[in-house]
Amino acid sequence: MRYILFLLALFMLGCEENVPVSEHAIHYKQAKEINEFSLQDQHGNEVTKRDLLNQWTLIFLGYTSCPDICPMTLAKLTEIQSELSKQYNVKVWFVSVDPNRDTQQKRKAYIDYFNSDFKGISAGHEALFPFVRNIGLIYAINTSKEEDYYVDHSASVALINPQGNLSGIFKAKFAVNEVPLIDSAQVIKDFNAIVH
């Protein structure tokens, strides 16, 4: 009887799909197509789908008045991009989901603090919202008339492949009384699993 149970257990293990990424990543083995879009970077240049081609792109949503998730995640993305760029052409896009306050100049000053090679992108909500949904992330449009307000947004990071399509999402780790953040070492490990 033990022998039969042992064989059954081996059979069940053999049937499980080998998942190369952690529970903090989603890998789209069939990459999801990104629709055409038109946004603006921190230099006032138009950014389109063509700008995603021939590189791996990590895209994070945020806003320059964000008190914690955004600066902490951009610091982690600086570290991640530095490490991954030793082997791959990896770019980082910070997409501001607060176009009312995050002017081109404000995005430039903010992104330059972390890495001037990063793109600081935004647009009006009519162009921004469909783009963000298309890359598998979300944010809430804030219509507050107050000067100080929060913007709810994904803490995850989208991974776009060199063909300009969505290959994965690196999810933030959530813990009680902690800021939800990506884990740099885990993102690097999951990135390598997706790429290979």
**First-to-last CA distance in the chain?**
41
With respect to residue 14, please indicate whether it lies within any of the assigned structural domains.
Answer: no
Q: What distance in Å separates the CA atoms of residue 52 and residue 150, rounded to the nearest whole number? A: 29
Q: What distance in Å separates the CA atoms of residue 43 and residue 111, rounded to the nearest whole number? A: 11
With respect to residue 9, please indicate whether it lies within any of the assigned structural domains.
Answer: no
Q: What distance in Å separates the CA atoms of residue 104 and residue 119, rounded to the nearest whole number? A: 11
- Indicate the SS3 state at residue 3: helix
pLDDT surpasses 50 at 173: yes
pLDDT surpasses 50 at 5: no
pLDDT surpasses 90 at 4: no
CA 109, 115, 116, 122 torsion-angle sign: negative
Model pLDDT, residue 27: 97
Q: If you average pLDDT over residues 71-82, what whole number do you get?
A: 97
With respect to residue 12, please indicate whether it lies within any of the assigned structural domains.
Answer: no
The domain tally of the chain equals 1
Which residues form the domain of 53?
19-195
The pTM (predicted TM-score) of the whole model is: 0.88
With respect to residue 64, please indicate whether it lies within any of the assigned structural domains.
Answer: yes
- CB of 58 closer than 8 Å to CB of 91: yes
CA dist list (Å): 54 to 40, 81, 86, 88: 20, 16, 16, 10
With respect to residue 7, please indicate whether it lies within any of the assigned structural domains.
Answer: no
CATH code: domain of residue 112: 3.40.30.10
